[in-house]
Chains A and B, each alone.
Chain A
């Protein structure tokens, strides 16, 4: 697991920065909740009357008066956007950086098969995402204990599981793209994650665009759906995981035969 360890070692700082940034932001919002609680009923009322805007973010179906409702919106946006961008950045550079930084000639002239390099890099991407989510969850749980509010823990964990799956999906697709490019793919990765986020907003607003929910991984991280159903929407998760697998398979197929610059 030499390549795996090296990948984790080289990403120590980005993992720490992104995890703490997302974790602290969520914790900050949770810590603010007790002060804002008394005004939350009027906020919920206000959002329910804001039409398409509230609908886009799923705020029309959420009760801000409960911690889990508040958490689903605040935490959902931070972990959703932050986690998606981070997983896209990590995955899209995993293979491409070897050619971009001209280290491919060093790595691939050692007796390590390409399958092994791809596998260890893939595992490192998923391990990094797991570490980020674990740190964020710890920050979140600690902040909830500090304010001493009651929360439906099963819903909260479902919500974090959905976010994790969404990041896994984006990482799988970006990992596939990474095998095809030889330069920095940061723009492509961040652009893809942002596009998926906006596709979900469009699908939320327009009833004729509901089909888009099967394309974007943000569909199954929708806080309002998770709270109301107390379950994850498997019909959105299955195509998402299929897309993730397709990305990973594409990475192996392409990179095994790729001429390295």
Chain B
């Protein structure tokens, strides 16, 4: 079964685009990275899947349940961390975590205590006094304490220091080994390349590509760097090598390097609207 499956999922805000006919599949137990530039539709996709906003057209299932008709069942099995999380003013950290557990009618005190300790959370502090990073840590505890089947995380590492990011991914790996599906959106391609087994790239509301990370890396494209009198030119090349060599000679190069591109470089091609390798 797929943990997430969307079928031509579309969300528009009046005349503005949100997401357009998105067909996304995330397998159960996968560690999935959802990549795209700002305004690409990552948060809109996540918010539609969680029922915060209504789809304009299309349909989607999360954990086998319809996102419109069976929203509560989805939310019972899901943990969610928004990109910018806010709690009720005046609450202590411990109150926010307990309130989240109470809303789920679950006693998660043991796991909440263990997560809080690992993340170095001061439970007695007021949520209003917390920095973005510390608010995020509270959000992580709230999202994970009930051991959900699916974890949806929107830009989870923003605000976390590198040490905390490492601890966070170690928690995510443990949750994934427990059987939880991890779906997170990110700008940082290196963390997707390091931790994810699958990834999808969204741009201007449309899904550009979705596959296993190793397949995405294995595009057959080469990163070509040419130094000429006019300057340095870098691009991805995919195709007949003889044609490439002919092109390079015509440029009268001073130096040429041909290397394997990183996942980041492959996706940057999409970012820069090149539509893939030459």
Contacts and interface: CB of A to CB of B under 8 A. Distances in A.
A257 interface: yes
B52 A103 contact: no
A161 interface: no
A109 B76 CA distance: 9
B82 A106 contact: yes
Interface string B44-80: 0001001111100000000000000001110110101
Majority-rule SS of A interface residues: loop
B16 interface: no
A107 B103 CA distance: 8
Contacts of B73: 111
Contacts of A260: 52-53
A106 B85 contact: yes
A184 B222 CA distance: 55
A10 B99 contact: no
Contacts of B54: 257, 259
B52 A110 contact: no
Interface stretch (B28-36, B87-95, B195-203): B87-95
Interface string A99-115: 00111111111111100
A112 B104 CA distance: 8
B104 A106 contact: no
Interface in A102-146: 102-113
Contacts, number: 62
A111 B72 contact: yes
A2 B90 CA distance: 17
Interface size band for B: 20 to 34
Contacts of A112: 72, 75, 103
Interface string A235-261: 000000000000000000000010110
Contacts of B142: 106
A47 to B, nearest CB: 46
B103 A104 contact: no
B99 A105 contact: no
A235 B172 CA distance: 63
Contacts of A42: none
A206 interface: no
Given A109-B78, A111-B72, A259-B52, A102 B84 contact: yes
Contacts of A107: 103
B178 to A, nearest CB: 20
Nearest to B99: A6
A49 B142 CA distance: 67
Nearest to A260: B52
Contacts of B244: none
Nearest to B13: A259
Nearest to A1: B102
B225 interface: no
B86 interface: yes
A110 B103 contact: yes
A20 to B, nearest CB: 20
Nearest to A257: B54
Contact of A10 (B76, B90, B104): B90
A168 to B, nearest CB: 26
A105 B72 contact: no
Scoring A3, A106, A257, A260 by chain B CB atoms within 10 A of each residue's CB, the highest score goes to A106
22 contacts: A2-B102, A10-B88, A101-B88, A102-B86, A103-B86, A103-B88, A105-B47, A105-B80, A105-B85, A106-B82, A106-B139, A108-B50, A108-B52, A109-B75, A110-B104, A111-B75, A111-B104, A113-B71, A257-B54, A259-B52, A259-B53, A260-B53
Interface of A: 2-3, 6, 10, 101-113, 257, 259-260
